[in-house]
Structure 1
Amino acid sequence: MEPLPVVDDASLLTRIAKGDQTALSALYDRYARIIHSVAFKSLRSIEESEEVVLDVFAQVWRIAGRYDKQKGRADTWLFMLARSRVLDRLRKLQRNRASAPAFNDADEIQIPASEVSPIEEAMISERRDRVASALKNLPDEQRLAIELAYYQGLTQSQIAAQTGLSLGTVKTRVRLGLSKLKLTLEAETS
């Protein structure tokens, strides 16, 4: 059996613009970890960094048709979207934590090299293990909703359709589960 040909990022974005979810999944698999690492360097929060990743790929899904390969590489475009989402998160955190020192130098957010260093890889692995452990402590229905959203990339509407639950129920389960995860992970770092 021959290996599948590698599809370039620009082609994936073209397919995403036409509504191809498998192309979005492929792009996500290619860039989610590195975008998470970039976000974590600035935000210093696993949860906020995960939100940035989700925001970036939700935005890619909505605006992939705006990408113009004549203006630049697809990965550069993705990292600019990520940088913008990180800055949005930083501003939000500054508003919410007026008394806490916040990172506010936008020039410090760098587009990463194409490979993750061994130290970053170890940090990502450690965070992944902590999240997996915390997920096991959630009620099954909340864990399932979160796993479908974050690990399979389904929207809440898709989760509702797949599970036969109402959209409101799915939203509540994801929100409650994420809240419990956040508390568990914050307690571990305290």
Structure 2
Amino acid sequence: MSEAKNLLTQIAQGERQALSQLYDRYSRIIYAIAWKSLNSVEDCEEVVLDVFAQVWKIADRFDVDKGSIEQWLFTLARSRILDRLRKLQRLNKVVTAAIADGKEIESATISVDPLTAVEIAERHQQVLTALSCIPSAQREVIEMAYYRGLTHAEIATATGLSLGTVKTRLRLGLSKLRVGFENES
């Protein structure tokens, strides 16, 4: 009985040291085979680990009459590589579909009719004008809340103000903006 077959027999009996020896002997070559197809360190490492995890589970099923240990290991590796390639293809399809969906959404939002675009631009200018009319301390917290999406607590932390001061400045600033818009209408 060859040394590799002896190792498989020991692995089938639960000998971890035998698995370690088999790993030391064949892991680099399995990695190299995986590299030719996957070209990714992470994916190749996963294939090697998957192969030896499978060897640990099914070592007792190895049949000497059906071929060499090397052929068996390479068959296991090939199977894991193909599984990985299929997974990558599925992932690639999902990413491609998501990008296509994003482009559809983008093109849908770009195709706003000209009248709406003019109204949006006018409203944007009104907001900027109204913001310029309120005190800078109130404008700053409003911009942090609405343009940057910060919470009251995050604004307080970023500015060094107390939470109560942030809320007061927001309330006063929004009140002045509301009055400014009502006067325009």
TM-score (norm 1): 0.48
What TM-score results when the alignment is normalised by the length of structure 2?
A: 0.49
Answer 1 or 2: which has greater helix percent. 2
Bigger CA radius of gyration: 2
